[in-house]
Each structure stands twice: as structure tokens, then as C-alpha cells.
Amino acid sequence: MNIDFSPLTIPETGNIVFLFSENASLSNTAQQLDNQTQGALTRAIEIEQFSGKKNSLMNLTAPAHTQLNRIIVIGIGKGTELDIQQAGDTLVQSVERYQLSTIFVVADSDEQAAHFAYGLELSNYRFDKYRTRTELQASCILEQVSMLTAQPAQAKLLHQPLHAITQGVKITRDLVWEPANVIYPESFAQYCETLSDHGLEIEIVNSQKMSELGMGALLGVGQGSAHESLMVILKYQGAAADQAPVAFLGKGVTFDSGGLSLKPNSSMNTMKEDMGGAATVTGLMVTLAKRKANLNAIGVLGLVENMPSDKAQRPSDVVHSMSGQTIEVMNTDAEGRLVLCDLLTYTQRTFQPKAMFDLATLTGAVLVALGDEIAGIFSNDDQLAAQLTAAGEKEAEPVWRLPMGGQFDRLLSSEIADMRNNGNKLRIGGASVAAQFLARFIENGTPWVHIDIAGTAWAHEHLPNKPKGATGYGIRLLDRLIKEQFEA
């Protein structure tokens, strides 16, 4: 889809879109078109009882006294940024119905133009890479959008950082959609190498080097796979070199069979998505580089495949983490925390970040607790958790803080090692137990937030600005937090 920003003039042909706030009167441009159609627009609004309610849409086909195909009016409610972005989603849902390959959108302000274009980009997404039959492909796609506004150059400038977000979101969605025979540790790492074109510095750490570093917890997860386990480091420098970075860590289990603690088939079918945390961190780092964010950032990806074989990790094995702590592996399907714990230690000791965020499709328990539209967060820093919660509310990527400590810490007791990798009371506080496990690897009080995106990384139905499937959840959330709290 190509988007341009053009001067505010009424086109003679094609499809024109107006954005209406709730119970608002016609804008000057809409009034001009109403006069040209001899009141057809006003009459249609009256007959349809169109009030501008959020996400409502009215279509006027072949309006009289014009050569236009359609006049489409979309309600934007109170006209907040989110309302306008979600109006873009409303239009995208009507593209096939009304055959809207090309549209002109009249915006009342440059800000409105930028955010409506942003909403279109977030929603205008399909993963059709492997569809070869014509009847399975979209009958019409939105190809050309002209945003008509008073100051197109200013609107384009406002849109640029928003466009950077959509580029990151698309990367994340594409990675999560790809099947596990296409995206596995080596191919994921190879893809990351191409991101240097966006201004990122890429480092790939192989299994031998990780073994030398003592990362036995991470390596144990992947030892049953034919694919090599890898760690990828994405570096972005947008501030002075002596400024401590903010670090983002991603669980990248490219396929999770459960290992020898084998999942049932119904649970395994979706496990190509278990690298969603790493995919989100990848997309976020591209977004920061594309919009030239004013901070230093580090992305650390733990890429493994969890498979059963004669070399696979066994339940009751004891592994040595990079921190020096030992872990009794009681369930090989509680593998994500084993990947993350070594990433946490490596990141703290190597980069001394001012704050750390890890993202992981970690537990089914968080999905049971919060559903599939809210991520669970756990933190050792009240202020950081509150700031992240506020950012989520602004970006429609909500989070809810869940507890750690106390009883959850006791559940990690092992009879032969420093801890076990799951709770010793099955199905009790699973998301909190997993977070408490990770908390044991936080050193020197580093501010840290664990974000469990097991429910939010994938949508089983269409949501506003999040097409069904891979959502790209977390990029808008963290980009907002970075803008508000970490950029100088």
C-alpha cells in the first residue's frame, strides 16, 4: 500500500472518504461536496441516522451530479488518536466489500491525517505468502491512499515515526506467521543479519561460545534439536556512547514440541508462535532505528528449538546457568524461562542496562488469568510497572501487573539443586511461578519487567488494528514507554 499526503482538493473521480466526529456538523470540504450533490450527502446522513459513532460507516454509491464512485463516511467518535487509528481499521474491513483499491481521504487536520494513515497501515495486513489458489487470496487490496490535508508536508512529517512503528509491527507479524520449517534458529539469525541496513549492529553468538560463557540453561533446551541454538544481539546507538542502554530480551523458541515432556497435538499445532518474544524485540529494534530514537538500545534474542530426541534434555536433569545457579529441569516444556534466565545474566553482565524488559510467550496460565487481549507483567520496580501500564492504556495494548514473591518463590524449591524450573504444586500460580523463577536472575537491583505475551501475540479473531493471527503486540506499547520515559 502506498500512502501520499496531498493538498486538500475534492477529486473528480474515484472513492472519497470523510471522517466524522460524533454529532459534528459537516466540514467545509464535506459541505462543498454536499452542495455539489444537491444535498445527497446530508440526506443520506439523515436517512441512515449516521451520528459519527466510533467505527460506524456509511456508504453513498454513485453520488448524483458527480463522477465519484463512492462517498464513504466513517465515524471517529470523540476523535482521539486511538479513535482515528481504529477508523482506519473500519475502512480496511470494507475494502473487499466496496472494492476500494484506491481512495482519497479528507482529513480535518494534519494530526488526523497522520493517525488515520497509521491505522490503515496497522490493519492493512495479510500473510498470503503461501496461498497459490486465487480464491484464497483477497478479491481486492488497498493499494493507493491519498491523504488530503491543509498542510501535507507537516502531515507527512507527523506520520514518519508512526510509519516506523508499522514497519516493526509487520516484521514481527511476518516472523510469527512463518512456519517452523522456514524460521528456525539459523534462518532467524540470518534474517537478523539483513537488519544492518536499518542502522542496527548485529552480533551472532554460537553454541560453542555460549557453552564457554556457561549458558547451560539455554543450551539444554535446544540440545535435542538438529538446529544449533544461537543468541543474536541487536545494537542501536541513538545517544552518546557512554549512556547505559535499555535492554529488550526475547524468547525465541522457534518450535516448541515440549521436548520429552511432549505436548498434546492440539497444543503443539500453534507452537511456531513460541518465538513471538524474539520477533517482537526484532520489530521493536527496527522501529527504534527507523525513527532514530534518542537512546541506546540492546535487543537480545535466545533462539532455540525444543525437540525430543536421543540427545534431548530429560526431566530431572540438572543444568548450570550462566549465573552459577543450578536448576533441576522437572518439565522440559517449561523451557522458555531456561532460555531467558541465561539471557538476563548475559545482558546484565555485558551491557549494564539502565532497565530490562523481557518478552515471552511464556505460560498458558497468563492466558487463563487475563484472556488474549491483556498481557501479564511482573516487575521489581513499581514505577516502571506503572509507567508501562499507562503506556498500554494509551496504545490499546493493555497490561496487568501480577504478583511475585512469597508463596511463588517457595514453590521453586528443589531437593537436589538451587531451584526447579516449575512449581512443585502443579497448576498453581503458573505465570507468577515462572516470573519468580526469572526474578532469581536479576542482579544488583536492575529495574526489570517481564511481559508474558502468551495470550496477546496471536489473535484468534480480528481486533481493532490487529488482524487475525500474529498481532505484533508489544511494539506500540514499548515504543510509547521509550518515548515518554527513556528518550533524552
Q: Does residue 203 fall inside a structural domain?
A: yes
Which residues are annotated as catalytic? 263, 337
**399 lies in the same domain as 269:** yes
> What is the predicted pLDDT for the residue at 309?
97
> What is the predicted pLDDT for the residue at 133?
84
Beta bridge partners of 247: 298, 356
**103 lies in the same domain as 178:** no
**172 lies in the same domain as 132:** no
Please tell me the total count of domains within the chain. Answer: 2
Q: Residues 164-178, buried b or exposed e (16+ Cβ, 10 A)?
A: bbbbbbbbbbbbbbb
- Of 151, 185, 200, the residue that ends a domain is 151
- Of 120, 151, 182, the residue that ends a domain is 151
**231 lies in the same domain as 347:** yes
Q: Are 360 and 277 in contact (CB under 8 A)?
A: yes
- Of 151, 175, 195, the residue that ends a domain is 151
**Domain interval for residue 23:** 2-151
CA distance 161 to 158: 7
- Nine-digit cell string for 112: 488526523
**243 lies in the same domain as 365:** yes
Q: Does residue 239 fall inside a structural domain?
A: yes
Q: Does residue 158 fall inside a structural domain?
A: no
**288 lies in the same domain as 195:** yes
CATH code for the domain of 112: 3.40.220.10
CA distance 292 to 446: 26
CATH code for the domain of 465: 3.40.630.10
**144 lies in the same domain as 174:** no
pLDDT values of the chain reduced to their tens digit, one per residue, 488 residues:
999 999 999 999 999 999 999 988 888 999 999 999 999 999 999 999 999 999 999 999 999 899 999 999 999 999 999 999 999 999 999 999 999 999 999 999 999 999 999 999 999 999 999 988 877 778 889 999 999 999 999 999 999 999 999 999 999 999 999 999 999 999 999 999 999 999 999 999 999 999 999 999 999 999 999 999 999 999 999 999 999 999 999 999 999 999 999 999 988 999 999 999 999 999 999 999 999 999 999 999 999 999 999 999 999 999 999 999 999 999 999 999 999 999 999 999 999 999 999 999 999 999 999 999 999 999 999 999 999 999 999 999 999 999 999 899 999 999 999 999 999 988 899 999 999 999 999 999 999 999 999 999 999 999 999 999 999 999 999 999 999 999 96
Strands (E) located in 330-435 = 355-360, 375-379, 399-401, 419-420
Q: Which residues are annotated as a binding site for Mn(2+)?
A: 251, 256, 274, 333, 335
Cα–Cα–Cα angle for 440, 443, 446, rounded to 5 degrees: 110
Q: Does residue 156 fall inside a structural domain?
A: no
Q: Nearest CA to 340 among 242, 417, 441? A: 441
CA distance 340 to 321: 10
Q: Does residue 77 fall inside a structural domain?
A: yes
